[in-house]
Structure 1
């Protein structure tokens, strides 16, 4: 049996390499990848929307990483007045390193059926 890893590059490739090195056959097929934008429509054109927002939803650590990289390179900070919501605990903790605010997130509840 082989494991198919669909995690985005380059972390998906790194996971496959580690699995193969430990004797677990696996291969990588990414449905999408994250890279810094080279688009003519960039974050610099959207930065005002970031500061005018009331709510920011974070879907991945990579989105936090690249946004923080842009903000840092342009001597900007994450807006403090907004409410942040993160999808996933690891994304929430990753975001907390940069925004320095208390985080609230949902814990997955185990669903128990009673017969």
Structure 2
């Protein structure tokens, strides 16, 4: 354990989370005295594309494995499925990056799936 006293650290943080979570984190950090800026490389928005999604939907239902990287992707896929009166397919194995994403996905999929924790893959029931 290291104790630091009488030294003021000048830490600056660049937060690259998508909006609005990125701005919220920057506000929290700035409020506790840690200088922070927000710059998002990408943002999640509902698609307005006229591209036919039936191929992608077919891929979702015929996949063996689905990798999920963010809560936003779960949110928008679930929004699309609900709008079209569809359910998440039960046949693929689902893997998430991060426990938060796993917990969020668990609200929508009623089956076992996997997430990485401390360099181990763990089943979430």
TM (normalized to structure 1)? Answer: 0.82
Mark the runs of 5 or more structure 1 residues left unpaired by the alignment: 110-115
Superposed CA RMSD in Å reads 2.0
Mark the runs of 5 or more structure 2 residues left unpaired by the alignment: 1-10, 120-125
More helix by share: 1
TM (normalized to structure 2)? Answer: 0.76
| 1:53-108, Cα deviation, whole Å (9 max, x unpaired) | 22111111111010001111111100011111112222112111101112333321
How many positions carry a matched residue from both structures? 110
For the pair shown, the structure with the greater C-alpha radius of gyration is 2
More strand by share: 2
**Residue in structure 1 matching 2:65, options 55, 62, 78:** 55
Q: Is the 8 A contact 2:67 2:94 kept in 1?
A: yes
Q: Which has the higher contact order (CA 8 A, sep 6+)?
A: 1
